[in-house]
Structure 1
């Protein structure tokens, strides 16, 4: 039975091109995609699950967790629990004030963590092959803080799950609650997300980089929240200003993916045209093909849960070819 939150669209009224859409449906059934939802104009236009269990399964959303961390930072800012994005992270990690630590690290701010521009040597998309080595460490936070600097803070975006874990640690320090408890109270409960799981490190800090598990439908709720400017059932969960700030393209390092904002990716719909409100989409992306894609001009949210660990960008390619092109 479908939730009232996702009333089923009348197929005759959907704005998606039927032929392209049929081809999209055929393609994903031949991929290691376990779930796909398309919500448009507030209606569930498409729902696919590899089997019945997948609809209720807590999916490993992997790095889509990072976009949830972004929302939580926005909520903490709205509540005055965090002073601002220009706050040096040394305010939360006094270790950085020690004489033995590179003094440049004291200029790293929350903004640098959110944009992944602290300057750390962190080859996650290189020799580490999308698996950050902090996971092997007994103290993840210290592992990240101890990484040498290759660039000045703010100069270059380099994909870094350690940034996200530091943000989780900062949330815990700033709110006096675990990241998970803060999320439950201020995000999950308002969105009626009842079933979830969030892994933590050896110090009890929930993994900000990829530790969250949710159902595909609950993943979609984050897309709806952002499409509605941070509102949920007429309640402002996170400020509209934060939503807009976090999705704006700020750095561009990975052409195959897009530009990076505050723990959100974004890209133009038509690369031949300028970047405007009607010509962009933004998304959360997780290793293995996990996605929450939002297309404001089409009032559309697309969610993928996948097991494509050798082809993480495959769902994004299918979305670009068959869904964006189907309008």
Structure 2
């Protein structure tokens, strides 16, 4: 296999219109970059239009919900430092500012692990556009207190049983990190993850309360996403505890056929990944010694095929899977 083969495969996919709104892709096989491509197109910082952008290696890009997977890694770092509670600890014990919620016996069963795996058993809807207040994440950000908003959602089922996609769960995980470390989430990420990885420049959008959006606010480059994926492939690279990674990318709850969820990471039979609205992707395949990072601009579209086509139809066949 050579880089030209992958570049040719990607060029054909681009010319055939099979990877619409592809803004950037970087892939590394056996520790060596084998594909790197940048496009152009309309882009946004969350819902703020940025106009037409020509993307380059140093262009920051919304990673949207890949942010959740980064926060999952940070939790493991903070846990190793003794700063945050174990996953099996009661969740509301660590939010004493809401004594009325903690007094509800139906909520005392909630654990930190239920937030990490999005199995809180609370009502939550994110299947509508992220421009609508009917979307749970948007409603959370419009609320006077985003954390109370999540924790007081109506109970929909027993916790730990059913996976429901929930940006609010990630917000709670991020808040536990801030509470335990005494640092803003972005500052802790800079010191404990980004700088050790050589990531010197990033942005993290904040809510009206000034806190970093743990569910969706990060802006990184595709090369940065590749570095994070390579860290996962390398068992934490001495930055994230290997034992935490082994747990984080282990299936905890079934999503669908061949797809599970770990601790803020998606898990397949042969891969682990971080997914974000619009086609953002970190794809890690340990058995193939492969990492793929994708940035795309298909935000809020019902069908977002670009990242899947890049991984499944360009990269994997190109390395001879």
Q: Fold-level match, TM-score > 0.5?
A: yes
- Write the distance in 2 (CA, Å) between the matches of 1:169 and 1:132: 17
8 A Cα contact 1:251 1:259, kept in partner:
yes
8 A Cα contact 2:280 2:295, kept in partner:
yes
Q: In the alignment, what sits opposite 1:324?
A: 316
- Write the distance in 1 (CA, Å) between the matches of 2:184 and 2:256: 32
1:140: Cα distance to partner? Answer: 1.3
Q: In the alignment, what sits opposite 1:42?
A: 31
Residue 203 (structure 2) aligned to one of 197, 207, 210 = 197
Q: In the alignment, what sits opposite 1:290?
A: 280
8 A Cα contact 1:59 1:213, kept in partner:
yes
- Write the distance in 2 (CA, Å) between the matches of 1:302 and 1:77: 28
Residue 306 (structure 1) aligned to one of 290, 296, 301 = 296
- Write the distance in 1 (CA, Å) between the matches of 2:313 and 2:4: 12
Q: How does 1:204-215 map to 2 (within 5 A)?
A: 204-215=210-221
Alpha-carbon RMSD across the aligned residues, in angstroms, is: 2.2
Q: How does 1:75-94 map to 2 (within 5 A)?
A: 75-94=77-96
Q: From the superposition, tell whether residues 303 and 158 of structure 1 become closer, same or farther in structure 2 (CA, over 3 Å).
A: same
List alignment gaps of at least 5 residues for structure 1: 1-12, 269-279
- Write the distance in 1 (CA, Å) between the matches of 2:207 and 2:221: 22
Q: From the superposition, tell whether residues 220 and 130 of structure 1 become closer, same or farther in structure 2 (CA, over 3 Å).
A: farther
Consecutive aligned runs of 4 or more in structure 1 exceeding 6 Å deviation: none
8 A Cα contact 1:220 1:301, kept in partner:
yes
- Write the distance in 2 (CA, Å) between the matches of 1:307 and 1:239: 33
1:17: Cα distance to partner? Answer: 10
1:167: Cα distance to partner? Answer: 0.9
Corresponding residue SS for 1:190: helix
- Write the distance in 1 (CA, Å) between the matches of 2:151 and 2:252: 24
Q: How many residues align?
A: 297
- Write the distance in 1 (CA, Å) between the matches of 2:4 and 2:119: 40
List alignment gaps of at least 5 residues for structure 2: 41-53
Q: Does 1:263 align with 2:264?
A: yes
- Write the distance in 2 (CA, Å) between the matches of 1:162 and 1:192: 29
8 A Cα contact 1:139 1:202, kept in partner:
no
Corresponding residue SS for 2:124: coil
Q: Does 1:134 align with 2:140?
A: yes
Corresponding residue SS for 2:78: helix
- Write the distance in 1 (CA, Å) between the matches of 2:78 and 2:102: 32
Q: In the alignment, what sits opposite 1:4?
A: none
Q: How does 1:194-273 map to 2 (within 5 A)?
A: 194-231=200-237, 236-255=238-257, 258-268=259-269
8 A Cα contact 2:101 2:107, kept in partner:
no
Corresponding residue SS for 2:243: helix
- Write the distance in 2 (CA, Å) between the matches of 1:304 and 1:130: 26
8 A Cα contact 2:296 2:306, kept in partner:
no
- Write the distance in 2 (CA, Å) between the matches of 1:100 and 1:38: 46
- Write the distance in 1 (CA, Å) between the matches of 2:253 and 2:160: 10
